[in-house]
Structure 1
Amino acid sequence: MYRVVIVDDEPISRNGIEAFIDWNREGMMAVAICANGEEALTALNACSADILITDIKMPLMNGIELMKQALELYPSLKVIMLSSYSDYEYVREGLKLGAVDYLLKSALDPEELLEVLHRCISMLKEERKKELEFNHYQHEAIYKERKCLEQQIKRMMVQAKLSFSSIDWAPSWMRQQYACIYLMLDSAEELREKHGYLHVQLLLEEFQEVFYENMPEGAAVLSGERSLFLLLPVSVCNWDIRILRLKRSVEAELNLSISVGFAVEEGIYGVLNGLANSRMACQRRFFEGVGGIYEWKENQAAINVSKMEIEALDWSPFFEIIRNGDPVSSAVEYAIDQWKGLCLNPEQIKKAAYDLLLHIKELQADTGSLLTDQFDLLEQAETLDQIASLFKCVLEEMEPSFTPRIPDNGNGGQLITKALEYIDAYYRENLTLQMVADSIHISKNYFSILFKQQTGYNFIDYLIELRIREAKRLLAEEDDRIYDVAETLGFNGVKYFSRLFKKMTGLTPLEYRKKYKETCSPIT
């Protein structure tokens, strides 16, 4: 719908022009009917019209002055002048200024006016078509230029170097300060499993397109299966705020989370350094949580930790915690402190976690398939919290702490295996040697001898050890009273339980609870 402003100081004339035309049928609308030039200029500022029909001679501001000011504000405005026979000099000036045509007010004919209006519309259509073509051509040229820059940067990343003889392709802004921004899709593995590999690539490409649409300068390079590397001139006003807004907008629109690391470099030869630093900054997501924006800092430089240093870590306290049946969370916390102490990177921590699980395999039979599955999950973990949580679950599932291995595959070994299962089911009750022997249909004397041979434990020592280990778990993970813990596990009174517990652990039940209660909470 084309918008028309009509200006004439004579009411009959301006109202007649409005009545001449069926504006809606012709694809136009009269948005303002004005009595003088000043009123018309105000209306133009308010409604940004396409066509101006104006009388030449008017009070306050004549048509020529109105036309001059209107065309300065709106160069594409089409002007039709209304004149009398004596206005020839004004008409000539108006045509020089760019009026489409003039019509004599005394002989104004609806068809003649409509013909000039149609000519104005044709001119507007043609100009807009050319403008669209020019914008499209300009967009294509800029797009090709950016794609060329993108390829050059990608080539640098692949070759890991920049030839001093091949920098002509670099735009001027790369010779000054620019931001290197490394983006990683969070939960990319989950997205792949749910929607497929191509979906993740399409998400990255979509962000790339949004970046090009919103940033007048810069480059965006796909740098991996889940990441994007951006270069943006620091001279772009509030570039960091714009990146934050862009990140939030894409996250909201695509329903995903993105982590961002950035570093500022200067000069063409800083690109590879910027890539490394921004990527390292983004790795802080592993320690600080996904979805954030992390700035590279000088003290964040990678520490080269040798394999020998990692292997030299003291894990005896870790295995002591496992063997003693103390809370698994305490063991995991110890492991994390060890890794952090060496400043290991995420991949080294994942490898170290898996190596620990392999060592624990010695405490538990037939865990090969479990470890294979859990190693896959370790590889997919994106944060240290996830590693800790997974590691804790694996240790709890493996239960490597106490069940003895039975060396005899014959009848004796089978009997004691059944006895261990019975003990495991009823150890909280007032269990006796006779009851266990009866469960496998042998005498208690023979059972006592056979149990010692197969497990290395006396029956009562094994039963007490089992109950104390469960007491540790209850004290650390539950809020039951110490009296209730003793009663639940079949101990003969809380005093006896407390004395026995301290003798075996070195701590009273209350001291143990205080020491391990916090470490048993979810690791964050």
Structure 2
Amino acid sequence: MLKVLIVDDEPSNIQGLVRYINWTELGYDKPKTKESGEEALEALLETAFDVLISDVSMPVMNGIELVAKAKSMHPHIQVLMISGYNEFEFVQEAIHVGAQAYVLKPLKLEEVSGKLTAFRVTLEKMRQVVEQTNELEKKVSGSLKLIRERFVNDLIAEVAQTDEMLSSWNSLMELPEIKQGFQIILFGVDHFLSSGKDAKERMILGSGFKQTVEVGLSDVESIFLAQTNPDEFVALHLNPTPEERVRVEKQLPFIQNMVRERYGSTVTVGCGRMGSRWDEVPLFYKELKFMMAKARLISDGQIVRYDYMDSNEFKDYRLREEFMPNILKLMETGDSAKVGEYMNRIFELLLTLEPTSFSYAQAFGMSFLSELIRNLKGQEDSDGEMNILMWRRMLDCGNPGQILELLVDYVNRYMLIEKKAHMNQQHNLIRKIAVFIEDRLQENWTVKQLAEQFNLNASYLSVLFKREMGKTISEFVQEIRIRRARKLLQDPNIKVYEVAEQVGIQTSAYFTYLFKKLVGCTPQEYRDYRYSAEE
């Protein structure tokens, strides 16, 4: 049974809930009750309650403060706020600090029961998630096949294999030390999605392909298998002996023949070069994908080997399909240091790690520059004076380092121009929105409504506003309201509740709460003491 704590400074409200809600039927124990936030905090320290029901307006510690502290103590506690019709701003604040729902006075028992039922369902789902996660952890710890597959997938996805990470893998399996190296073998069903097969046929083909690869390589213990897609399998062969390599070679045509005979589909196989470090796996995998894609242009169902790959062609392919899109994405972040670091890694990878002539390095630099000019926005003419100057400077370079420096300089200058233009545009937009808010302070615009007004995504507007103004839209509105309220309070002819109305705050209670939160005293105290003292 779930545990509930009800907090309200009016005992009649508490008794009504305790007496007239069928707690047992809803899956709850008889509620514990407290009449103040301070008493409730003591109870929360002693007991892990599942649900907290609290009034919003209470003396000393109000419902908002109680919810914030309760959530910090018990993050998963479900909170139902009780509010009067004129306290909606309090409820908004409570939801902001973690309340899940609210009901308005006078209370409707069926509405409260509905909220409690929803809470029970949520708590039950949370419990199921925890149980299933624990069960999955047990299965993962006990399944060597699953652990190996996850390890290979992590390698391909370029998850950094630090000493700490490798140690964690060793705790799950005996990870062999790479002594004789490793080889990647990639199996791919040809035309899996465009073969004309319907959904059921593709499911059968995918399952049959998986079973065939697993059976075909099952007698080689040093192979880690991972299915990366329904139509693709990766075999990571660790420390292969000559005898094992011969056995594996014999199984490659066996796997191809079985899939062709049973499912009418061909399988292309790629055999990679030998490696000696885990961080080489992603590159070798990409090489195999490139080799197999080229082989399929000629015919399906081949066995292709790294020995026949044109490494320069592969580098050009990576530049066009991998490196350039990544550079453009990094440039959009505006972080020139990261762009420069990434470009340096590219040049190190493609020009330094393998022996290459300077003429190739220069030709690669030309290709790099050409791709940059083609992809960057704002390039009106690739034969313009700026670009001609860049081509000439490229020809004048005497070593790969100068080529890299020239390209980084080109990118940095472009980013600087773009950043200035973009920042000016954002600055003007946010200032325009800030003025719009100030002019309509009494209208209570939501972030969503503001975003729609200015044709923006609400989340993007929130991030942009915080970055430009140093505060959230809600904080900005509150500060503007209180700043205007301080000026109005200087006029003794305007009552406090009238000041609240004029700055767009619906109730005196919330106005007092917010004013004290931001200024440190109540509006009346400010009028009586602080205002005269500030003068």
Above 0.5 in TM-score? no
- Give TM-score, length-normalised by structure 1: 0.29
